[in-house]
Amino acid sequence: MNCWNFFKPAALTASLLGLLSTTFLAADELLVDPALRSALVTALEEPHQFEDEFDAQVWLLSRRNALQRFIEEPDRAIPLLQTIHRHASQAGLAPDLVLALIEVESGFNRFAVSRAGAQGLMQVMSFWKNELGREIDNLTEIETNLRYGCAILAYYLNMENGNVRPALARYNGSYGQQWYPDRVYQAWANWR
């Protein structure tokens, strides 16, 4: 299923369009796709504002109740939804897809850390901070994590010509397998 119509390609910059393929050579030797690196640099420099505040608010109100399954404090839910919507939209992603990915990756726990060392809501690998010369970035900080994660997902989506399933598998590092995209799709259906 090609879901490119859920995304806003115009929001992607030229550098966000080439996308990543990270290959591990050995436990301590890593090659990083320069196009993905460039996409992350661009995403970290973009402004922090909605393009259409009214659409964001309509979306926000319709998702608030669903988020309460994960975040009990209403005063935390609304700002989180606003932030997710903003970063997803800036990256040209469907905000509901990002919500689904976060649900699967971290269960909305901004302090989640995987066995592989991925951190935060979108489970971003910490090597990116060093690769970008941004060692002081805190991947458990919501804004930072979403900027990295959305840029990476947008990169993979572009790499896969808008095909969401293989893009999700690349994001998770399970390319060629369907278990992860299936989980995200199931969650995505609940957010739409």
Task: Tell me which residue of 74, 75, 84, 136 sits closest to 110, measured CA to CA.
Answer: 84
Cα dihedral 52, 58, 63, 64 sign: positive
Known catalytic residue at 73: no
Q: Residues 46, 51, 105, 160: which is the catalytic one?
A: 105
Query: What does the DSSP 8-state code read for residue 57?
Result: H
For 81, the token pair is 């939804």
Q: Name the 3-class secondary structure at 30.
A: strand
Q: How many helices (DSSP H) and strands (DSSP E) are in the chain?
A: 8, 4
Q: Is the dihedral of CA 14, 18, 22, 23 positive or negative?
A: negative
Q: Catalytic amino acids?
A: 105
